[in-house]
Amino acid sequence: MANAKEETLDFIWHAPTFKTKLVNRNTILSAVSIASLFLSWALLVHFQVYRFSLLPSPAEVLEEGIAWVKTNVFWIDAFATTLRVLVGVLAAYIIAIPLGLMIGWKKVFSDLTFPTLEVLRPIPAPAYLPLAILLLPTREASVAFIPFIDAFFPVLLNTITGVKIIDRDYFRAARCLGSSPKQIFWHVVLPGALPSISSGCAIGMGIGWMGAVVGEMITGKWGLGYRIWESYILIRYPLIVDGMIAIGILGLASSVLIRYLTVRLIPWRRAITESLDESITK
Amino acid sequence: MANQTASVESQFLRQISKKFLNWSLLRQIMSFVLFIGLWSIIVVAVDYFHQIPTPKAVFLALFELPITVVLINILKSFFRVLAGFFLGIVIGFPIGVAIGYSRVLKNLIFPAFEMIRPIPPIAWIPLTVLFFVHIESQIIFLTFYGAFFPIVYNTMGGIAEVDIRLPRAAMSFGLERKLMLWKVILPAAMPQIFTGMRLAMGITWILVVAAEMMANKGGMGYYVWYNHTVMDYPHVVLGMGIIGLCGAICSIGINFVGNYFTRWRRIF
């Protein structure tokens, strides 16, 4: 599938070729790409172009990073941030998926809830922070509230879309064969929507990481976002970049994990939403 | 005669009532009524939530809104969002087209992007503050950064997903290669390019609010945070509403432009 797509437009320039070797033009170019990223960073800092002199060099970042990973602080930070993201995003899954299934399935339910949700949707998550602080008992919960809001709407909308794109004939067939609404829900609505739900979950997880970092920077005691902000204030600039890298790796790992799990759990998803998934998550 | 006009009138009324008084619309209105009703009941009935402003308090706060201040803040936020967004288009769109079109460029640029992309834009704030002198340019860099990747990735994806039969048909009709991009590939990729822009707009609003909350330099995010610090919660809720409205206006604007650019869809 992926190969077929690679060749869609390429035929204008190149004849299709079979690339089986490990070291081919593609991998060399990729290596050049990544190397040039780090090299240009190092050179810009080394020759102090414009204000790059203020930024840490790759060597400093590496050194500080290794020292940081050896301390307990890193592990507590990483654990705190991961926990907040997971709590917020899982809460969003638990609320948004059933809600989305009902909205997509039942017109009456959709009419009664969806207009309000549409009005709330454009409000960006950080704007909820004052209310979250007011509403929730602990600081921890108000930080986790931001990833919750961030993840909620992508998951909800993907779930609704997932139900809406189910072929109407499945419902008709199920009803002809005399299934109850409960059976239709478990055997038509849920399996049909799962592929789209899973890509919503992956998106929600990605945005959730962003939300947790916002929350931690503005009001936090622990966590990678807080550590980045603290390193800025304490003028330990290499640690800022280390924090960014740690967040990037953890965020990527969680999205990959979700996608891996969903591919395993929903074998029929590949066929249906490969293009949908790629278009949204990338 | 009189009878006839009456029947015409009743027909007209029936049409109107069919259009505006169906159950679906009533229920949709009920949705807002329910929401506001639940909100006020919860705030009044549950003691724990007594600090949350009631809908009535928010409505009354609307009349004491410092209009000039709010307008200036709205304009500031809008300026930051749109500046970052258009920078994202100006820089991201050509890159997206280039790496969607050529496999060499894709292999050359894409892996480096893949290294940077997982880092959430917010985590760039400290480095941005170090690198850029003016707060305005710091915020605009952030919104640009947030808009950049969705635009690049969706432009690239949109171009990669163009149905292979379209350029083939164009070639067999003798279209010049120079025109292929403008006449066939870009129009076909437009729906997904605009999906990317919609995503980018949502992210820029998130970023602008977060950055303004931290920066103390005006804007709606600052307005909300300021009212939080002086414990004026009805105005916090109003500020949230205004930000939501601004975001909705932006996405409606993108949909409008997007409908123009994907007008070929209406033919099918």
Q: Tell me the residues of chain A between 156 and 195 that have a Cβ less than 8 Å away from chain B.
A: none
Render the burial of B165-202: b for 16+ CB within 10 Å, e for the rest.
ebbeebeeeeeeeeebbeebbbbbbbbbbbbbbbbbbb
Report whether pLDDT(B147) > 90. Answer: yes
Residue A119: Cβ-neighbour burial (10 angstroms; 0-12, 13-18, 19+): middle
**Which of A1-10, A101-110, B39-48 shows the lowest mean pLDDT across its residues?**
A1-10
Of A126, A213, A282, the CB nearest to B157: A282
Q: Is any Cβ of chain B less than 8 angstroms from the Cβ of A116?
A: yes
The reply to whether ipTM tops 0.90 is: no
B159-169 confidence digits (pLDDT tens): 888 888 888 89
Confidence of residue A159 (pLDDT cuts 50, 70, 90): very high
Contact check, Cβ <8 Å, A131/B35: no
Please identify which residue in the block is written with the tokens 């009941």.
Answer: B41
Q: Tell me the residues of chain B between 201 and 260 that have a Cβ less than 8 Å away from chain A.
A: 202, 205-206, 208-210, 213-214, 220-221, 224-225, 227-228, 233, 236-237, 239-241, 243-248, 251
Nearest chain A residue to B24 by CA distance is A111
Of A12, A122, A130, the CB nearest to B225: A130
pLDDT of residue A279: 42
Max Cα separation, chain A?
76
Q: How many Cβ pairs within 8 Å bridge chains A and B? A: 215
DSSP A165: T
Q: Determine the average pLDDT of the residues in B183-194.
A: 89
B217-234 confidence digits (pLDDT tens): 888 999 998 988 888 888
Nearest chain A residue to B185 by CA distance is A9
Pick from A245, A248, A243: which is nearest to A227 by CA? A243
> For residues A240 and A256, what is the distance between their CA atoms, to the nearest angstrom?
24
Most confident by average pLDDT, A79-93, A157-171, B171-185, B214-228: A79-93
Confidence of residue A90 (pLDDT cuts 50, 70, 90): very high
Pick from A240, A212, A194: which is nearest to A132 by CA? A212
Confidence of residue A21 (pLDDT cuts 50, 70, 90): low
Which residues from B are below 8 Å from A10, CB to CB?
Answer: 103
What chain B holds in terms of domains, given with CATH numbers, is: 2-52 (no CATH), 58-266 (1.10.3720.10)
Q: Is the pTM of this model over 0.80?
A: yes
User: How is A95-130 classified by DSSP, letter by letter?
Assistant: HHHHHHHHHHH-HHHHHHHHHHHHHHTTS-GGGGHH
A246-255 confidence digits (pLDDT tens): 998 898 888 8
Query: So where are chain A's domains?
Result: 4-46, 56-281
Q: Determine the average pLDDT of the residues in A134-152.
A: 87
Contact check, Cβ <8 Å, B244/A245: no
CB of B45 closer than 8 Å to CB of B103: no
pLDDT of residue B5: 59
Q: How far is A89 from chain B (nearest CA, A)?
A: 16
Q: Is any Cβ of chain B less than 8 angstroms from the Cβ of A126?
A: yes
- Structural fold of domain A56-281: MetI-like fold (1.10.3720)
Q: Is any Cβ of chain B less than 8 angstroms from the Cβ of A3?
A: no
What spatial distance separates the first Cα and last Cα of chain B, rounded to whole Å?
Answer: 46
Q: Is any Cβ of chain A less than 8 angstroms from the Cβ of B101?
A: yes
Q: Is any Cβ of chain B less than 8 angstroms from the Cβ of A54?
A: yes
Among A29, A120, A252, most B C-beta atoms within 10 A, so best to mutate, is A29
Contact check, Cβ <8 Å, A228/B123: yes
CB of B254 closer than 8 Å to CB of B201: yes
Contact check, Cβ <8 Å, A29/B108: yes
B57-79 confidence digits (pLDDT tens): 888 888 888 889 899 999 999 99
Please identify which residue in the block is written with the tokens 């259009």.
Answer: B19
Q: Is any Cβ of chain A less than 8 angstroms from the Cβ of B96?
A: no
Contact check, Cβ <8 Å, B228/A119: no
Tell which wins on pLDDT, A202 or A219. Answer: A202
Q: Considering Cα of B113, then B114, then B116, then B117, what sign does the dihedral take?
A: positive
Q: Tell me the residues of chain A between 225 and 264 that have a Cβ less than 8 Å away from chain B.
A: 225, 228-229, 231-232, 237, 240-241, 243-245, 247-249, 251-252
Render the burial of B2-23: b for 16+ CB within 10 Å, e for the rest.
eeeeeeeeeeeeeeeeeeeeee
Average pLDDT of chain A?
82
Contact check, Cβ <8 Å, B24/A107: yes
CB of B223 closer than 8 Å to CB of B239: yes
Which residues from A are below 8 Å from B220, CB to CB?
Answer: 127
CB of A256 closer than 8 Å to CB of B131: no
Nearest chain A residue to B102 by CA distance is A10
Report whether pLDDT(A143) > 50. Answer: yes
